Structure 1
Amino acid sequence: MSGAGQRGISVGAVLALLDLAAKGVPDEHDAVAELLAAERLDPAAVTQVGQRVRELQGAVARLHRRGRELSALFSCARELAALHDVDELVAGLVRRAHDLAGTDVTYLSEFDEATSELRVRSTAGTVASAFQRLRVPPHTGLAGKVVESRAPQWTSHYAHLRDVPHADSIDVAVRAEGLVSILGVPLIAGEHVLGVLFAANRNEHAFSPEEVALLSAFADNVAVVLQTTRLLSQARDAAEETQRAYAELAQHVEAMERAGQVHEELTAAVLRGGGAADVARTLSDALERPVVIVDENNAVLASSDGAAAAVIDSAPVRAALADSRRSGRCTLLEPRQDDFRAAVAVLAGDMVLGGLLIGDGAVELGAVEQRTIERAAQITALLTLKQDAVRYAEDRVRGELLNDVLSPDVRRHSDLAARLRARRVRPQDLRTVVVAVVGPEHRRAALRAAHVLASASGLFGEVEGVVTLVLPEADPREAAALVRDRVRAGTGVDEVLAVAARPADVLGELSARFAAVRDCSRVLAALGVESAAVDADEYAPYTSMFAGEPAGAQQFIDRLIGPVLRWDADRGTELLSTLRQFVDCNASPVRTARSMDVHTNTVLQRIDRVTSLLGDSWRDPEPFFRLSVAVRLEGLRRRFQPDP
């Protein structure tokens, strides 16, 4: 400086002023003013120099702050480049903001788009655990004001903040943490507010514009990092989803190829005349699971492992097959039942032909696999219908032969032996007639069982609504038992009445034998006998009496000894057994008592009771004969009744 009354500043003073400017932080004792005053400058010069030094301090402070911001940004960039864990990165950003702001507490609240809440994601300097789980509802507190205004908001004393809605949960958390002054700046990426970065002190503090600007600048960097991590996370999720889609596509292609291979093999099986065993084996190889095929009565037709039971008697499996019949689709059994995981009905229109049962295995039963199982069921239906058609054609011819053999019209017997030989049936093998009585719903399965039993050396078919066989067996009882057991196995039901006649010596006798077994089966059925294997000759007297009106047998019993039966039923007595012994002992009380091992007076007392029930004339010759028949018929009926 120059001029009158003025003198220049010393070199030492200049250097000291430069040092103060280089610090970038104004000295609270105003060292610049003291230094200039020591140089004895006029007031105007002191003011001019002091203002210039303070401007330099502000510029240097801004450069220092920008340096810190750039350092923080570079650190964030390095951490982002080495990103492995988003939560760790967010926690690191909050710690860096904590160091940069120099406040007691720093925390980041992230905006939840689903609920519009702000939830604390990461903190630095907090001590209260409840604060770290804090959630701020929309339009509430200082945080809500930051989000709505998209601009920094602060307060030097939170408890005195009145221009925003308060929430008890937030106020309690702030008090627990001891926070007084709070500064919040938004984390903005484009049009979206990602969250709010907070710096807070536990004492009253007025945040300076520099502090607000510094935290806002860092918040911009944090927003970029958060948005980048979100994009990276979305990209990673998209990549993983793409990988899953590729994997699912590969599995789908593999399943489709497997389904195509199964379809080709099953089609080939149809063309070459294969059966259920081919379907079970082919499907089992493709699915790597055991496969069992059952008929409409759940009797096993084929099994891929050959280890299945003769009949699948399981309520859950039957229910699954019934559900599949209604829906026409594959039904999964969850949890598995009897080692089966899936079931599908074999249908031809409204006709139920059976079902496919799928066990445990390596290949998952996805949508394609289930459609493959359904297609296998359709192929099974085609094979069954084809085999039924072939069998029906053959059975129709044999059935016509059977009807001719059993017909009483001798005109239908002409050339019968030659016609039998043409069907590879030897006339001398046709000896014993057997009928099998089953429910109408099981007749088709019974005919299939009869086909297996008689196709080699006999005849079978449906005659007068009854499954009928002519077999080479010589013993009627054995023949009846054989037919009963085979039909039971084929139908899966126990109620099978098989009646056989004594062997015929010539073809011409078979008609009479059929009439005998037919009439006997009708009488037994009228008596309620549903399950038995009998020789018709043993019941010939009763058949002769009631063949014309089978229902009359039960009526005959009720009319003759009904009062006795009701007396026993009501009182638990044994009048009927005494009456049976009395009949067998030719009406001798002494012999009856001896056979029953009771005193004669006991027998006489019981006979008196019978007389009171039936009347005085029941022991006359003709009534006694009729009563004897009724007693024996009732005994016959009870012999075949299951034990209670």
Structure 2
Amino acid sequence: MTDAETRDADLMLVLELLAEQAPPERFDEVLQRARRDGAAEPDVARLEHAVHLARQVYDWQGRRRRREDGLADLVDTARDLTSPHDLDSLLRVVTRRVKRLLNFDMTSVALLDPEGGLRVRAADGSTTALVAGQEVPAGHGLGHQSLEVRAPLWTADYLHDDALVHNESVDEVVRAEGLHAIMAVPICRGDEAVGVLYGSARTVRHFSPDEIGLVCSLAALAAVAIERAERLEQAWGEVGQLELDSFRTRTSLVRLQQLNEAHSRALGMLLAGADLTTVAAGAGSALDAAIQLRDPGGRILAASGDLGDQDESALAEAVLDAHSQLRPVVTPQGTWVTPVVAGAEDLGALLLRPTTALVGEDEGLLQLTAQTFAIQLLLRRSTDVAEGPVRDDLFEELLAADPRAGRQTHHLTHRAGSLGIDLDAPHVLLVAHPEGGEQGRAVVWASSYAHRLSGLKTVHSGRILLLLPGTDASAAARAVADELTPLLGHPVSVGAAGPGRGAAAIAPMYREALRCLDALTALGGAGGSAAAKDLGFLGLLLSDSHDVDGYVRSAIGPVLDYDRERLTDLTDTLEAYFASGGSPRGAAAVLDVHPNTVSRRLDRIGDLLGEEWQQPARTLEVQLALRLHRSREALRRQRRSGPGPQAEASSIGRPLA
């Protein structure tokens, strides 16, 4: 074979090896054989040039294959990223794909936080627990520099690269992971920076442009996927909120339907003539709670269930707040207080203790229940007003009845019984005189009040008369004054008498109550309340019963009891003290004892009667009680011994101041 044929055969062999995509070593073998066979230098040079060109083609084909493989992997990655992921799952997919595609030892994604720092959210290939959640302060590290220039940056050996702004915490993580080469590619969404995609190797490594370009493409895909994941999470959150709102709406509609039915039942009971207790029981059942209806004075009108122990002072404050705000309020103990009002008029308060927390709809039913009670109280007041003339006529006849006419009083007692009033039970009689305000309003209130307490009411000369069951005239008078005064906005004076039983006792009680009212006015006590026992010796004079024993007991009863139980002489000491003009020394001379003894006795009297027993008004009461006591004792001795000079002298033998 000629040299030319040999040369052409070698060149043809190079082309065949290139076509077969033979490994680079086969090209070297062709070149070495030509040199061994002693080929001419020009022929060897041409063969070297052919081998060089073949290697370039081979390298180009390799790069093209790698690029095609990278594009295929990029497409697969894009397909993976389009699948539904939450943000953390998506970031894990990104780090795993980047690590595999570029043969990194570790990859991670750090996102910007509101303070401008970077926080690692996902990592793949880490060997320590330091990477997850690592913070990179603003202005430090390769990532922040890449964000500033909006371009990928890389270093072949991070810890020995003095061009970077190092941070000790970041360097510690890099050192612990054994990292050298690091690439940082910014993740941007338009002009907005989102975070940084890191690729790291545990050897010193120089990255090729193709590798950098592929990571940039993955970072761009990650930016789109992150935005999609965030929007998807936002959409899921909105869907969840919509589902929650829908559930709440359905629950609210069901509850509103239940509350509407409960309110309808309450109104139905009201129209059917049910009493307050029945309505309270229905409302308590609907609200799953214990309920009390109280009047403006705090008295319980109706109840359902047990409220338990209540702090009455806290309740009183809550009632005031509820009426001032015209809405339900809750006490620290968890008791709800709702005002019961009609216009500007206070009809009372509704107290509720729920077994479970009230929701908005329950509060609405609570207010509707309060309105139902208000309607019922107004209806009852209307009934009271309608029955008023009959009851007023009965009261007028009782006041004018002749106590000696047994048949008449028996007839009146029977009529009162038909109205639910037992005259044989103890009653008190009150005469109330409003010092201002609208009388018609006071009369309407009195009708409702008397009916509520199973009593009677009438009006004489602008004064309201009330006959009420009870045994404490003073307490009844105070209750009327306390409730009527705020209603009218003016003081109300109340005189009281009683208790008394039977129709024959009513007229005398009226006269006594009227005298007490006149005494209050004469003494400048307008706006107050009093029965005979509250007026001291003046009440003794005003009372038809002239209860001397009761007066003496109220004034000096503790001293009398002390002398009787301990056989002491405190009563004699009091008399001697007043007889000597309030001088302990003079009293000691009369009693023939040491002045210190008198002082000790007076201290004991102060303990028994109170510190104010020597005030002028109280002194007068005590002296009068002493005189009455001594006179009654003398009369008793006189009755036991019969009339005679000694007996008469004994009744007047002791001087008193």
Partner of 2:616: none
Partner of 2:299: 299
Partner of 1:543: 539
Indicate how the Cα distance of structure 1 residues 454 and 399 shifts in structure 2: closer, same or farther if over 3 A, else same. Answer: same
Matched, 1:108 2:106: no
Does the CA contact (< 8 Å) of 2:291 and 2:353 recur in 1?
yes
Q: CA deviation at 1:247?
A: 0.4
Partner of 1:90: 91
Does the CA contact (< 8 Å) of 1:158 and 1:182 recur in 2?
yes
Matched, 1:215 2:215: yes
- What amino acid is the match of 2:510? F
Equivalent-residue separation in structure 2 for 1:117 and 1:427 (angstroms): 86
Which whole-Å deviations, capped at 9, do the CAs of 1:563-615 have from their partners, x for residues lacking one? xx9xxxxxxxx9x982477659x99xxxxxxxxxxx984799529998xxxxx
Which whole-Å deviations, capped at 9, do the CAs of 1:467-491 have from their partners, x for residues lacking one? 73266xxxxxxx5259969998999
Partner of 2:341: 347
SS in structure 1 at match of 2:122 = strand
Equivalent-residue separation in structure 2 for 1:235 and 1:626 (angstroms): 88
- What amino acid is the match of 2:623? S
Partner of 1:578: 570
Matches within 5 A, 1:31-70: 32=27, 35-40=30-35, 41-67=43-69, 70=72
- What amino acid is the match of 1:217? S
Does the CA contact (< 8 Å) of 2:338 and 2:367 recur in 1?
yes
Equivalent-residue separation in structure 2 for 1:229 and 1:426 (angstroms): 79
Which whole-Å deviations, capped at 9, do the CAs of 1:83-114 have from their partners, x for residues lacking one? 5x6534533432332233223331111234x4
Which whole-Å deviations, capped at 9, do the CAs of 1:124-172 have from their partners, x for residues lacking one? 3334544433233556543234334443222334457677766565455
- What amino acid is the match of 1:95? R
Q: CA deviation at 1:9?
A: 2.2
Indicate how the Cα distance of structure 1 residues 483 and 608 shifts in structure 2: closer, same or farther if over 3 A, else same. Answer: closer
SS in structure 1 at match of 2:61 = helix
Which whole-Å deviations, capped at 9, do the CAs of 1:38-74 have from their partners, x for residues lacking one? 4455434533442343333333334235425534753
Which whole-Å deviations, capped at 9, do the CAs of 1:282-341 have from their partners, x for residues lacking one? 433433333333222333322333x457x96534444333332222222245x643xx3x
Equivalent-residue separation in structure 1 for 2:430 and 2:165 (angstroms): 90
Equivalent-residue separation in structure 1 for 2:420 and 2:44 (angstroms): 150
Does the CA contact (< 8 Å) of 1:185 and 1:216 recur in 2?
yes
Partner of 2:351: 357
Matches within 5 A, 1:455-604: 455=455, 459-460=456-457, 468-469=466-467, 480=471, 499-500=497-498, 503=501, 506=504, 510-517=506-513, 519=515, 542-545=538-541, 578-579=570-571, 601=593
Equivalent-residue separation in structure 1 for 2:599 and 2:464 (angstroms): 43
Matches within 5 A, 1:308-323: 308=307, 313-323=311-321
Does the CA contact (< 8 Å) of 1:431 and 1:510 recur in 2?
no
Q: CA deviation at 1:629?
A: 0.8
Which whole-Å deviations, capped at 9, do the CAs of 1:228-286 have from their partners, x for residues lacking one? 43343233223222211210121122233233323433443444444433542343343
Partner of 1:639: none
- What amino acid is the match of 2:598? R
Matches within 5 A, 1:12-27: 17=18, 21=21
Equivalent-residue separation in structure 2 for 1:490 and 1:300 (angstroms): 18
Does the CA contact (< 8 Å) of 1:435 and 1:518 recur in 2?
no
Partner of 1:606: 598
Equivalent-residue separation in structure 1 for 2:211 and 2:95 (angstroms): 16
Indicate how the Cα distance of structure 1 residues 107 and 437 shifts in structure 2: closer, same or farther if over 3 A, else same. Answer: farther
Q: CA deviation at 1:184?
A: 1.4
Structure 2 gap segments, 5+ residues each: 36-42, 435-441, 484-493, 544-554, 560-565, 580-590, 603-618, 630-657
- What amino acid is the match of 1:371? G
Does the CA contact (< 8 Å) of 1:401 and 1:420 recur in 2?
no
- What amino acid is the match of 1:386? L
Which whole-Å deviations, capped at 9, do the CAs of 1:420-459 have from their partners, x for residues lacking one? 988756999489761469999xx9999867534434xxx3
Partner of 1:377: 370
- What amino acid is the match of 2:108? Y
SS in structure 2 at match of 1:454 = coil
Which whole-Å deviations, capped at 9, do the CAs of 1:487-523 have from their partners, x for residues lacking one? 989999xxx99741555774xx743332224546998
Indicate how the Cα distance of structure 1 residues 539 and 359 shifts in structure 2: closer, same or farther if over 3 A, else same. Answer: closer
Indicate how the Cα distance of structure 1 residues 388 and 579 shifts in structure 2: closer, same or farther if over 3 A, else same. Answer: same
Equivalent-residue separation in structure 2 for 1:318 and 1:159 (angstroms): 75
Indicate how the Cα distance of structure 1 residues 277 and 62 shifts in structure 2: closer, same or farther if over 3 A, else same. Answer: farther
Does the CA contact (< 8 Å) of 1:141 and 1:164 recur in 2?
yes
Equivalent-residue separation in structure 2 for 1:543 and 1:381 (angstroms): 41
Does the CA contact (< 8 Å) of 1:185 and 1:198 recur in 2?
yes
Does the CA contact (< 8 Å) of 1:578 and 1:606 recur in 2?
no
SS in structure 1 at match of 2:327 = coil
Indicate how the Cα distance of structure 1 residues 137 and 308 shifts in structure 2: closer, same or farther if over 3 A, else same. Answer: closer
Indicate how the Cα distance of structure 1 residues 53 and 67 shifts in structure 2: closer, same or farther if over 3 A, else same. Answer: same
What is the count of residue pairs matched by the alignment?
Answer: 548
Equivalent-residue separation in structure 2 for 1:2 and 1:343 (angstroms): 120
Partner of 1:134: 134
Q: Which residue, 378, 381, 387 being the options, matches 1:394?
A: 387
Partner of 1:594: none
Does the CA contact (< 8 Å) of 2:179 and 2:200 recur in 1?
yes
Q: CA deviation at 1:196?
A: 1.9
Does the CA contact (< 8 Å) of 2:120 and 2:133 recur in 1?
yes
Partner of 2:323: 325
- What amino acid is the match of 1:325? H
Does the CA contact (< 8 Å) of 1:276 and 1:383 recur in 2?
yes
Equivalent-residue separation in structure 2 for 1:314 and 1:438 (angstroms): 28
Partner of 1:476: none
Q: CA deviation at 1:121?
A: 0.7
Which whole-Å deviations, capped at 9, do the CAs of 1:349-377 have from their partners, x for residues lacking one? 33322222333346x63223322322222
TM-score with structure 1 setting the length: 0.66
Q: CA deviation at 1:208?
A: 1.4
Does the CA contact (< 8 Å) of 1:435 and 1:468 recur in 2?
yes
Identity %: 22
* Superposed CA RMSD: 5.6
Indicate how the Cα distance of structure 1 residues 172 and 484 shifts in structure 2: closer, same or farther if over 3 A, else same. Answer: same
Equivalent-residue separation in structure 1 for 2:342 and 2:233 (angstroms): 54
Does the CA contact (< 8 Å) of 1:298 and 1:313 recur in 2?
no
- What amino acid is the match of 1:321? V
Does the CA contact (< 8 Å) of 1:123 and 1:132 recur in 2?
yes
SS in structure 2 at match of 1:356 = strand
Partner of 1:628: 623
Which whole-Å deviations, capped at 9, do the CAs of 1:536-579 have from their partners, x for residues lacking one? 699996525478xxxxxxxxxxxx99xxx9xxxxxxxx9x9824
Equivalent-residue separation in structure 1 for 2:31 and 2:115 (angstroms): 61
Equivalent-residue separation in structure 2 for 1:371 and 1:625 (angstroms): 61
Equivalent-residue separation in structure 2 for 1:466 and 1:629 (angstroms): 34
- What amino acid is the match of 1:628? Q
SS in structure 2 at match of 1:6 = helix
Partner of 1:475: none
Q: CA deviation at 1:119?
A: 1.4
Indicate how the Cα distance of structure 1 residues 485 and 54 shifts in structure 2: closer, same or farther if over 3 A, else same. Answer: farther
Equivalent-residue separation in structure 2 for 1:372 and 1:428 (angstroms): 39
Equivalent-residue separation in structure 2 for 1:291 and 1:15 (angstroms): 104
